[in-house]
Every structure is written in structure tokens, then in C-alpha cells.
């Protein structure tokens, strides 16, 4: 069975069944080479659970499932622990069912160098599925962009990792199944994006990241890339935040599908997102004091906007239906928004906008003070341990 052809909750369950069936198979892991003190990292595999153990069950809090031990494609070292990979159950929206590096080994980043043994770049260059964790905190200064292969999770939980210089490029199908968790993209020193999602890639989840000023966009999703979720991120100090759809001529971008939820756009200028042609479900985000507009839809793009909080400053355009010189309006349906400071949300042909429920289940919270407090306290990088 080809997992790349399966999406959503079914994909997760297929992986769980596959992993459960393989629990008795010996697998190992890979580390990132030598640590800073020159000692090789421990590569002994953790004890595996008995193959007769049941599928993951509730641990007692009523919500969280525990992923079983991964590592079905891990050839040396320790497999990704089930408690670590349980992060994947938090994926919502169009990227629900993303698996990242769960099938592979843990890779320990042991250096902040741009490249070489134990570096983030070495991990992303690998053709193997990898769940990438960090054994140290600090700033990774990149001389060029990071270009990733498929089936990777960049998991910054438990450390404070800041990236400056080059951004992350996820490009060209069949590349896909990428998770970026709890990373700070502090400052870009070139003309690129912090994260570029380009060229027909799919199943991308960006979660709990913080974005500062960058050369171009903070996140761009273009050229027929699809099934992307951006959640619980903090965007600051920037003009061109999130572009979805490359240009008026890029009609192939009609296949794009992006979910944007529980993000905080704090004093940024525009593109939260700017959409052309594709579908964007934008819900439960917080917009504060934007400069030009909040959400923009053009070129027959379809925005389903629900339960967002728009707290306007001088500019009142919370949602607009044509951006810049694009020759066509976009389609917008807006519901349940909390409009503050005179914010105005426009609709256009709302009955023609797609229904998110046709693609996945989503629990949209009421746009109120409690939601605002949750976003302000939880969006972006968090100082939390890695399970």
C-alpha cells in the first residue's frame, strides 16, 4: 500500500496498523555523528514494546493518543518514540494525516554549524525518513537555503532554535510529508522566504513557529502545492506574510488547499494570507493592527473565513476581495468573526465558496476574549519539553 496516496485520518490509522504489525521486528536508529565534546552519541535502541501490545490508547487525560514506536524504516539506532510522534495527532485541516519522519529514526542535531556531521542540513539532505530533534539550543546561521527531502519532522520542542540567513525550501513533487514544529525563524538575510512550499509538494504542517523579518515572504505556498496547514504560529515585524498562489497566470494553483488556524498576526502589513485560485480555510486567527489588509482573496480564490478576531488600527480592511492589480475578484464567505476597532469584512459570492466539512472535521471556537487569550499565550515558539 502506498501511503502517499492516502490522506487524512485514514492515513494515520493505516500507519498505526503498519507500526503495530511490525513491533516485533528489530529496528535501529541513526544519530547525527559526534557531539560537541567529540563523544559519539548513544545509538542503543530503546527497548521495544512487546508485539502483542494493543494499539495506542488514551493515557488518561481523555484526549491524547500515543503513537506506537515508529522506525519501520530505521536501519540503525533508536526508532522515533511513540510519545514524541504523538505530536502528529494535533494536525488539523488539510494536512491532517501528515506523518513526517515517524517511520524513521531519531536524528540528533548536535551542532549549530551550517553543515556537516550532526547538522540540521545533513538531516534534511538524507533520503531516509527522520524525526529530527536538537541536543542543544542556539542560533543556526545559514549561508544558503535548507532544501529538504521527504518524510522529515523538524521538532524544536525542548530547545530554543533560531534560524537566521537562509530559509527552508520544500520544493518539487514528489517531495512531501514535512512537519516543522516549534522553531524560530528570526531573520532572513537574503531575498528568499522563511519557508517556501513550491512545485506540487503536499502534506506540509507548520506548527507553533515564530516568524520575524525576512527577505521576501514568511511562508509562501505556490505552484500547485497542496494539503498544507499553518497553525498556532506567531508572525511579527514583516510586510509580506503568507502568499498562497503565485500569480494571475498560475491557473494550476486551483489545486492548492491550505488551512490557516489559531495564528497571531501581530502588527504585520498584509497577506494573512493573500490567496489566488486555490482554497483556504482561515479560522480562529488573531489579527492586530495590520497595515494594508487582513485576508485578501483574488483570482477566483475561495476563502472560508470563520471565527477570526480582527482588531483594527488605522486600516479597517479585515477581509478584501481583490488585491493589487489582479484582474479577478476572489470569493469569500465570512462567518462568526469578532470585528473590533471598526474592522470591515467583505464577502463575495459566499454561496460558491467550498465547505471545509466536505474535506475534514474542524471544531471552530467562538471568537471571543477567551480565544484571544489562548492565542496570545500559546501561539509561536513555546518553552516546553519534548515528550
Cell of 249: 497566470
Return the SS3 of 10.
helix
Whether 271 is a known active-site residue: answer yes
- Distance from C-alpha of 207 to C-alpha of 189, rounded to nearest angstrom: 23
Q: What are the φ/ψ torsions at residue 272 (nearest 5 degrees)?
A: -125, 40
- Distance from C-alpha of 30 to C-alpha of 152, rounded to nearest angstrom: 14
- Distance from C-alpha of 89 to C-alpha of 153, rounded to nearest angstrom: 14
Query: What is the tally of helices (H) and strands (E) in the chain?
Result: 4, 28
Block residue for cell numbers 525576512: 214
- Distance from C-alpha of 192 to C-alpha of 166, rounded to nearest angstrom: 7
- Distance from C-alpha of 219 to C-alpha of 224, rounded to nearest angstrom: 15
C-alpha atoms less than 13 angstroms from C-alpha of 106 in its C-beta half-sphere: 26
Burial of 249 (0-12, 13-18, 19+ CB in 10 A): exposed
Angle (CA) 294 300 306, round 5°: 45
What does the DSSP assignment read for 82-127? HHHHGGGGG--GGGTT--TTTTSEEEEE---SSSSTT-HHHHHH-S
Specify the DSSP class assigned to residue 162: E
Catalytic annotation, pick one of 271, 274, 276, 333: 271
Instruction: Find the length of the chain.
Output: 387
Q: Are 204 and 195 spatial neighbours (Cβ–Cβ below 8 Å)? A: no
By annotation, the residues acting in catalysis are 271
Amino acid at each position: 500500500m502506498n501511503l502517499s496516496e492516502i490522506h487524512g485520518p485514514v492515513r494515520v490509522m493505516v500507519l498505526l496498523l503498519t507500526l503495530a504489525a511490525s513491533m516485533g521486528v528489530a529496528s535501529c536508529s541513526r544519530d547525527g555523528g559526534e557531539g560537541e565534546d567529540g563523544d559519539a552519541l548513544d545509538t542503543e535502541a530503546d527497548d521495544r514494546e512487546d508485539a502483542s501490545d494493543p494499539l495506542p490508547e488514551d493515557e488518561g487525560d481523555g484526549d491524547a493518543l500515543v503513537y506506537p514506536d515508529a522506525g519501520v524504516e530505521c536501519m540503525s539506532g533508536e526508532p522515533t518514540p511513540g510519545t514524541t510522534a504523538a505530536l502528529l495527532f494535533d494536525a488539523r485541516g488539510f494536512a491532517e494525516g501528515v506523518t513526517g519522519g515517524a517511520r524513521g529514526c531519531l536524528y540528533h542535531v548536535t551542532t549549530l554549524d551550517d553543515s556537516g556531521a550532526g547538522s540540521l542540513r545533513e538531516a534534511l539532505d538524507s533520503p531516509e525518513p527522520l524525526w529530527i530533534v536538537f541536543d542543544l539550543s542556539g542560533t543556526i546561521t545559514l549561508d544558503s537555503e535548507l532544501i529538504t527531502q521527504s518524510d522529515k519532522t523538524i521538532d524544536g520542542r525542548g530547545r530554543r532554535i533560531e534560524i537566521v540567513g537562509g530559509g527552508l525550501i520544500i520544493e518539487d513533487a514528489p517531495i512531501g510529508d514535512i512537519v516543522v514544529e516549534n522553531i524560530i525563524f528570526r531573520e532572513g538575510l537574503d531575498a528568499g522566504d522563511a519557508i517556501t512550499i513550491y512545485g506540487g509538494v503536499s502534506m506540509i504542517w507548520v506548527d507553533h513557529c515564530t516568524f520575524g523579518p525576512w527577505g521576501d515572504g514568511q511562508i509562501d505556498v505556490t505552484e500547485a502545492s497542496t494539503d498544507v496547514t499553518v497553525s498556532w504560529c506567531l508572525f511579527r515585524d514583516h510586510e509580506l506574510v503568507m502568499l498562497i498562489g503565485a500569480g494571475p497566470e498560475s491557473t494550476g494553483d486551483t489545486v492548492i488547499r491550505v488551512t490557516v488556524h489559531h495564528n497571531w498576526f501581530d502588527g504585520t502589513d498584509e497577506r494573512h494570507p493573500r490567496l489566488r485560485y486555490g482554497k483556504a480555510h482561515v479560522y480562529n486567527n488573531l489579527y492586530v493592527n495590520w497595515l494594508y489588509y487582513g485576508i485578501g482573496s483574488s483570482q477566483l480564490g475561495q476563502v472560508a473565513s470563520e471565527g477570526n478576531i480582527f482588531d483594527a488600527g488605522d486600516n479597517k480592511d479585515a477581509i478584501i476581495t481583490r488585491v493589487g492589480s489582479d484582474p479577478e475578484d476572489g470569493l469569500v464567505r465570512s462567518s462568526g468573526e469578532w470585528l473590533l476597532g471598526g474592522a470591515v469584512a467583505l464577502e463575495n459570492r459566499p454561496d460558491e465558496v467550498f465547505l471545509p466539512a466536505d474535506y475534514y472535521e474542524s471544531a471552530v471556537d467562538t471568537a471571543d476574549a477567551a480565544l484571544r487569550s489562548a492565542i496570545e499565550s500559546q501561539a509561536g515558539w513555546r518553552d516546553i519539553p519534548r515528550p
